[in-house]
Each structure stands twice: as structure tokens, then as C-alpha cells.
Structure 1
Amino acid sequence: MKLTFAHNNFNVRSLKASLPFYEKALGLTEHHRKEASDGSFTLVYLTDGVTPHLLELTELKEWDRPYNLGDNEFHLAFDVDDFEAAHALHKEMDCICFENLDMGIYFIADPDGYWLEIVPAK
């Protein structure tokens, strides 16, 4: 038996806010989506167009408050081939929430406060 990664999920308050952010900040585009038959939720799967891994964004239609992310000690990491260009874009977008200069990495926060790590490609 072999298990492989399929996707990660983040629940978001607004796909209208999240989809443009993920496309502009990380180059992720919609792979496919699923609408609940009763209209209670929408799932949108994002792809980087290179790897098979997907990010699932779930919008619950009746959710009326920010998600409790606790201490936000979890994150997704992204390799980037042009670290300086990515940093400049994210600085312009004002979404950098933490930088670790000693490690040469930084984190951005999405509209719901999820942290995304940006790592220079090796």
C-alpha cells in the first residue's frame, strides 16, 4: 500500500477575496471546483500548474465570522525561482507578515490570515 499527498485545505470566508490573492501572490489558478447540491459550500482546487499537489479552498456559505487559526503554527511552503522578485511583489501587496533573514525565508498572510512560507529554490 502506498499513500501520496492529494491536497491541503484552507477554509476561507470569501472566494472573491482569496482567489485573486492566490493568483497574484503565488500564481495559483483554479484547477476545478465543486458546488454543494444544497448550495451550502463551494470547494475550489488550485494548482501551480507544475506539481500534482492541489490547494483546496472551502467557502462555507453560512459562515459569519473569521476562522480561529489558533497560534497559526501551520503553513504551506512555496519554492520560488526568483526570490527577490517575489519579495518585491509581496512587499507591494503588503502581505509579508514575518521575515527570517538568518534563514533567508519569509512568510505572507492570505486574506484569512493563513501563513504561506516563501523559500528560495535550491
Structure 2
Amino acid sequence: MTTFSEQHPGVAAEVPPATRGFRLNHTMLRVKDPAASLAFYSRVLGMRVLRKLDFPEMKFSLFFLARLEDGKHDVPQDVGERTAWTFQQEGILELTHNWGTEDQADFRYHDGNAQPQGFGHICFSVPDLQAASTWFDENGVEFVKRADQGKMKNVVFIKDPDGYWIEIVQADLLAQLGRPA
């Protein structure tokens, strides 16, 4: 059985059987101040911390966050079981805090969008783009681009406390995206 994929140069014709069960679990962002980042991702985007792991010998902490729908997940209470469960999920955001960066006034991570460009952004899909934009305004979130700006309409970009870009989309508004006008 072939799994659907648009065909482009370099795309394997078949999914290699050895990759059965592989899934994208998480994306990691380094953060300067975990309190500021956790406030943003939990209060503004509704994410919850599934697990925090500290590594004192290496002086860093990992925070694994997800946007879980109420009542749809049976999150284990035992920390070992919850750690294993966390690494089985999809759509996790890992925030990595290297201890002491929060005390360095001039410390910044590269956001990936300044030169030289590299990493670009993460993306959240929302049910109502206008309502989300209003929510971001009410919470003092910095916009990179609003839905009516630029050539790509109905796509919003905001920044988190470390300057990372977050794309915000409403799926049903994007059906014509990438099609000739």
C-alpha cells in the first residue's frame, strides 16, 4: 500500500518499510528566560507543560509543551510513564533553557530569520484567524505580519519572547494558497 505524497524530485516512490511507526515528535527552540516563554506559550497559545527535565550536570532544562484538547488525552501521573508518553506524542514543542541566560541582559538567540537565514518558524492552526489576531492584540503580542498585509493574505506571523516567528493560519482560508490567480 502506497502512502499519499505529492511527487517531486527526490521524493521516494514508496515509504520505506523500515520507517513504519516513525512520527515527528517535537521541535526544539532555545529560550533565554523560561518564565517569559512559558507564560507566552501557555497563556497566549494555550499550551500545557507535559514534562520538565533538568540536567544539572550540563546546566540546562527541557520543557515539553503541547496543545492538548480537553478530555482527549489520558496523561499518566507517574513521571516516568509521563516521560515515555510525552515521547510518543505528535506536535510537541520543546523549549530548552541553558541556565544563566536569563541573567544576561544582552543575550539573544538567533531567530533564524535574520541573516544568515536558516530556521524560519513554527505554525499554529486556529479556528478563527480574526479572533486569534484580536486575542494577540489584547495580549500585547508583537506582529511580524497581519492577515491583510503582504502578498500572502490570511496568514499571520507573530513573535514569541525570544523573537522566534510563529505562523498563524485558519485552514479553511488557505484552500487557494499556491494556486495561480
Settle same-fold status: TM greater than 0.5: yes
Q: Which has the higher strand share?
A: 1
Is this contact kept in 1: 2:121–2:167, CA < 8 A? yes
Q: Classify the secondary structure of the residue corresponding to 1:16.
A: helix
Structure 1 position 109 matched with structure 2 position 128: no
| Greater relative contact order, per chain length (Cα 8 Å cut-off, separation 6+) | 1
In structure 2, list runs of 5 or more residues that go unmatched: 1-17, 70-88, 173-181
* Correspondent of 1:60 among 98, 113, 127: 98
Structure 1 position 93 matched with structure 2 position 139: yes
92-101 or 42-51, larger mean C-alpha shift = 92-101
Moved over 4 A (4+): none
Q: Classify the secondary structure of the residue corresponding to 1:45.
A: strand
Greater C-alpha Rg: 2
Query: What do you get for the CA RMSD once the two structures are aligned?
Result: 1.8
Q: Classify the secondary structure of the residue corresponding to 2:146.
A: strand
Is this contact kept in 1: 2:112–2:164, CA < 8 A? no
| Corresponding residue for residue 71 of structure 1 | 113
In structure 1, list runs of 5 or more residues that go unmatched: none
1:78 maps to amino acid: F
Instruction: Spell out the pairing of 1:1-122 with structure 2 (5 A cutoff).
Output: 1-2=18-19, 3-38=22-57, 40-50=59-69, 52-63=90-101, 64=104, 65-72=107-114, 74-95=120-141, 96-101=143-148, 102-122=152-172
Is this contact kept in 1: 2:147–2:155, CA < 8 A? yes
Is this contact kept in 1: 2:23–2:90, CA < 8 A? no
4-13 or 78-87, larger mean C-alpha shift = 78-87
2:109 maps to amino acid: Y
Q: Percent identity?
A: 30
Is this contact kept in 1: 2:64–2:94, CA < 8 A? yes
Is this contact kept in 2: 1:39–1:61, CA < 8 A? no
- Alpha-carbon shift at residue 85 of structure 1 (Å): 1.7
Structure 1 distance, partners of 2:43, 2:56, is 30
